Amino acid sequence: MRVTLEGLDFGYRGRKKVLNDLNWTLEPGVTGLLGPNGAGKTTLLSLIVTLLPVRGGHLFIGEHDLSTTVGRSRARRTLGFVPQRFSLAGELTVADTVAYAAWVHGLDRRECGPAALRALESVDLSALADRRTRTLSGGQRQRVGIAAALAHDPRVLVLDEPTAGLDPGQRLRVREVVAGLGEDRTVLVSTHLIEDVAHLCSRVGVLAGGRIEFHGTFPELEALIEDSTEGSPYGSEFERAYDRLIERVGESP
Q: Is 69 exposed, middle or buried (0-12, 13-18, 19+ CB in 10 A)?
A: exposed
Q: Are 149 and 81 contacting, i.e. CB atoms less than 8 angstroms apart?
A: yes
Q: Is 209 in the site for other proteins (CB under 8 A)?
A: no
Of 8-16, 34-42, 106-114, 217-225, which segment contacts other proteins by CB under 8 A?
106-114
The site map against other proteins for 119-158 (x = CB under 8 A) is: -----------x-------------xx--xx---------
By the 10 Å C-beta count (0-12 exposed, 13-18 middle, 19+ buried), 135 is classed as exposed
Instruction: Using the minimum distance from each CB to other proteins, give the nearer residue, 105 or 185.
Output: 105
- Binder among 50, 122, 163, 191 for other proteins (CB under 8 A): 50
Q: Which stretch binds other proteins (CB under 8 A): 31-39, 104-112, 205-213, 220-228?
A: 104-112
Instruction: Please count the other Cβ atoms lying within 10 Å of the Cβ belonging to residue 189.
Output: 29
Stretch that binds other proteins, among 105-113, 163-171, 183-191, 198-206 (CB under 8 A): 105-113
Instruction: List C-alpha distances in Å: 143 to 101, 161, 170.
Output: 14, 13, 10
Which amino acid, 128? L
CB nearer other proteins, residue 76 or residue 240:
76
* Cβ within 8 Å of residue 107, ≥6 positions away: 115, 151, 152
Residue 178 and residue 167 in contact, taking contact as beta carbons nearer than 8 Å: no
- Contact call for residues 198 and 178 (beta carbons, < 8 A): no
Report the length, in residues, of the chain: 253
Binding other proteins by CB under 8 A: which of 14, 16, 109, 230?
109
Residues 59-98 that bind other proteins (CB under 8 A): 73, 76-77, 79, 81-83, 85-89, 91-92, 96-97
Interface with other proteins by CB under 8 A: which residues?
49-52, 73, 76-77, 79, 81-83, 85-89, 91-92, 96-97, 99-101, 103-106, 109-110, 112-113, 130, 144-145, 148-149
